[in-house]
Structures are given as structure tokens and as C-alpha cells.
Amino acid sequence: MTVTLTGPSTSEVRVLIIAGQHGDEPLARQAVASLVEPGSGIPAHRLNCQLAVLSDANPDGAQAKTRENAWGLDLNRDHQQLRAPETQAIHHFVRRWQPSLILDVHTYPPRRKRLLAENLVYAHDLFLDIPSHPSLGLRSLNQLEKKLLNPLLRRNDAAGYLAGRYTLFTPGGRIRHSTPDVVDARNGLAVRTGVPTVLVEGRQPTRRDRHHSRGRTLAALRRACRTAIAWAGRHGPWLAQVQQATNGLHHVALGGRYLDAAEPLVMPFLDARHRTVREVQLPGRYAPKVVPQRCVKLPTAYAVPRSNQALVDTLAWHGLLPRTFALPQPACCTTYHIDHVVHSERSRRAPRELTIRSRATGWEPELYWRYPVTADSGRLLAVLLEPASKYGLARDEQIGLRWQAGQDYPVLRIETDA
Ligand SMILES: [Zn+2]
């Protein structure tokens, strides 16, 4: 994997563009690579920020024309566990280079079963989306929508590309934007670092398309990237302030609930024969917002059993390392006792019902690694480790953080202001 760096090194605004996490999306790779092509790319002196471009995030997948990497892993579902060397490398680079804004570029298939049943095909040249995990804080999430997402959509629209917020239809009949899960780059990188990470999806032309071509998708993706780069260059202080506010939160929401909108969603679609674009009022419950739930106060540190190597390794890939540090006194250690648990049929989900009770406990410090909560680590530690976290590591059987009724949860919280 090669990252190309360009732009004025004196600028404090840094934009990272990632493409090709999915190996079968060549147009995304091509559009992003062309931004820094010698001769035809954006000349360095025209940039108002530093730019890092990783146009081929999954080289093995690109060669094999597969969505997954050589190990069969979908890299854009690996940003929580970081099992793949490719995602580990991306996170490592992000922590080192500290971008102000990240774009994650893909292409999307416009023909979906659920929509074809209604005789509809997606018409958008571009879908964009922003982070939505509730731990980022409602204020920051709302600001990202108003000040970052909406202006980018408007500018791409004004340039002649039909641009909208990424919109999905669940089998249960709900219409929503991307998921609040932390497995993709959009949320995974944002939850880790507080850096706004924008998903960019260009339309993958189909054989039946009349008006969309590969050239149009390439141009739309290039336009979306250039618009975001220019926007970032003008909003450096705002980007820094949003990241700081997000990282300064002392209370973190570990889950959320979709809030249905009062109005149904109306958006443009092609008819299934790709003849005309028309506005369609969609049947189904439109739920554009996630209301934060399950808020916890961050402790001073988390204590993780040294015996759980899989968990220690996963934290290490995120750059979260145990530290030996003296605890200010008085320190209080609490554990969660699991009173009641009902597992969901789908194993990768948080349990359907979970009743936990926090209580003070004694502990043997030599059996645990301590992970201090800092502005840079607290939110992710809580999201990964707390048992009530909807998208935490406890849902992953390989990590071995199990919920068992009548037992204590293995991770402890250390608090010093009790
Ligand atoms: Zn993709």
C-alpha cells in the first residue's frame, strides 16, 4: 500500500483520502488515484491543505477483483477488530499523520432487490454520509450534518451531479442512512480519533444505464473529492474545534435508538427501465436520526484481564496500550454483575436484554492491565469494553468477553473521584 503526499507542508489542515477498500470497485480507485497523477492531478500549489491519498487500500482484492482482501475479510467491516494488516496500516497511518478530515471512497450498485420490487433504481451520481455513532455526541453529529455534509451535497448538486445522503432500506421496512455500527471506516476511524470521516459512494454504472457512464462516475467522484478538499482548506479551525469537542466528552453514549421522522422520505429515483428520473415518496418508516442511549461516565481507567490475549491484541492494534501508572487515592474499582441476559438469535448482535448492576469490588492488580482514559482513548475504550455497548467487543465470540447471567463481567472500571 502506497500513500501519496502532496500540498503545502506548512498547512495545518490535512485531508486523507482512502479508496479501494473493496477490491471490486475500480472506479473509486481510479478516480482517487487521478487526483495526484503527475501532470493531470491537482497541482500541489493549487492545494490549500496537505493531502494524503491511499488509492489502493486493498491491493490483493483489486488484483483478484474481489470485495474482500486475500484472507476473505471485508476491510470496511474490520475497523472495530482490525484483524487485517490493511486496516491496521490505515489506522496506524491515521494516528501518526493526524488528518483533519478523512474521505472513504467507494462505488455503490444502483439496482437493489428491495427497490426493483417497486420498479425503482437509484439515480444518484453521489451518495455521501457522515459518522453516526452516538458516542461522538449529539452536538458534534448535528454540526457535522449542518456544516459539513449539507454544504458538500449542495456543492456537488450545483456542479450537476445528483448528490444525496446515503440511504438504505432494511428488510424490516425501515429507511435509514448508514448504520451506527463501528465496523466501517466512517464510524470506526471517527470513534477512534474524533476525526470527521465522510463516506463517498459513486454510482457504479450498470449495463442498462442510458445516462450514466463510467466517465460520469469518475468525474462525479473526482468532483466530490475536490469539493471536500477545498472545503477542508477553508474550515481548518472548525474541523479542529469539532474534533476537540468530541474528544473532550466525559460522558459517552454506547448505543442509540432510531427516531422515525414525521414525514415520509421523498427522493429521486430512476424507473427500472432507466428512462426517467422522478421524485418518489417512499413507503416505509423513515428514520434519519439516532437518539443516543446508554450513556456512561468515563472512568479514570479500565482494567483488562491479562489472561485475555485476544482482547489485549485488539486494543493494541488500535494503538491502545496498557500503562503502569500510580492511581491517585482514593481509587475505587467497580465491576458489572450480570443479573439477566437474553441473547439475540443473531450472534453478532448485542444481547436483546441485558440487566447489569455496578458494584464496588476488590481486585488483584497484578492480574490486570490498566488502560488510562485520555481524550484520545476514552471514547473508544468505552465503546469497545463496556458491556452495555451496542457495538462493543462483547458481541464478538472470538474475543471472549462473555455476558453470563449470575457472573461478573471480566473488565473492571477504576475510578478515582468516587
Ligand atoms: Zn465499497
Q: Which of 220, 278, 232 is nearest to 99 (CA)?
A: 232
Residues 308 and 215 in one domain: no
Contact 188, 131 (CB under 8 A): no
- Measured in Å, residue 142 CA sits from the centre of ligand 1 at 25
Give pTM, 2 decimals. Answer: 0.95
Contact 144, 153 (CB under 8 A): no
Residues 29 and 171 in one domain: yes
Q: Rounded CA gap, 281 and 257, in Å?
A: 24
Residues 133 and 171 in one domain: yes
Residues 262 and 329 in one domain: no
- Measured in Å, residue 135 CA sits from the centre of ligand 1 at 24
Residues 267 and 145 in one domain: yes
How many domains does the chain contain in total? 2
- Measured in Å, residue 25 CA sits from the centre of ligand 1 at 6
- Measured in Å, residue 312 CA sits from the centre of ligand 1 at 29
Helix 185-193 / helix 85-97 crossing angle, nearest 10 deg: 40
End-to-end CA distance of the chain: 47
Domain end, chosen from 292, 323, 342, is at 292
Residues 200 and 347 in one domain: no
- Measured in Å, residue 279 CA sits from the centre of ligand 1 at 26
**Beta-strand pair 126-129/50-54:** unpaired
- Measured in Å, residue 109 CA sits from the centre of ligand 1 at 9
Residues 262 and 344 in one domain: no
User: 39 Cβ partners below 8 Å, 6+ apart?
Assistant: none
- Measured in Å, residue 108 CA sits from the centre of ligand 1 at 7
Which range marks the domain in which residue 283 is found? 4-292
- Measured in Å, residue 48 CA sits from the centre of ligand 1 at 28
Per-residue pLDDT of the chain (418 residues; tens, 9 = 90+): 899 999 999 999 999 999 999 999 999 999 999 999 999 999 999 999 999 999 999 999 999 999 999 999 999 999 999 999 999 999 999 999 999 999 999 999 999 988 888 899 999 999 999 999 999 999 999 999 999 999 999 999 999 999 999 999 888 888 999 899 999 999 999 999 999 999 999 999 988 777 679 999 999 999 999 999 999 999 999 999 999 999 999 999 999 999 999 999 999 999 888 778 999 998 889 999 899 999 999 999 999 999 999 999 999 999 999 998 777 777 889 999 999 888 777 655 667 778 888 888 888 889 999 999 999 999 999 999 999 998 999 888 888 887 888 999 999 999 986 5
Domain end, chosen from 292, 324, 343, is at 292
- Measured in Å, residue 125 CA sits from the centre of ligand 1 at 15
Residues 302 and 201 in one domain: no
Q: Assign residue 279 the CATH number of its domain.
A: 3.40.630.10
Residues 380 and 320 in one domain: yes
Residues 133 and 154 in one domain: yes
Domain end, chosen from 263, 292, 321, is at 292
Residues 205 and 307 in one domain: no
- Kindly state the cell numbers that stand for 33: 488515484
- Measured in Å, residue 127 CA sits from the centre of ligand 1 at 12
Give the gyration radius of the chain's Cα atoms.
22
Residues 139 and 233 in one domain: yes
**pLDDT (0 to 100) of residue 348:** 58
Q: Is 154 left (phi over 0), alpha (psi -120 to 50) or beta?
A: alpha
- Measured in Å, residue 107 CA sits from the centre of ligand 1 at 6
- Measured in Å, residue 303 CA sits from the centre of ligand 1 at 36
- Measured in Å, residue 106 CA sits from the centre of ligand 1 at 4
Q: Which of 373, 377, 367 is nearest to 414 (CA)?
A: 373
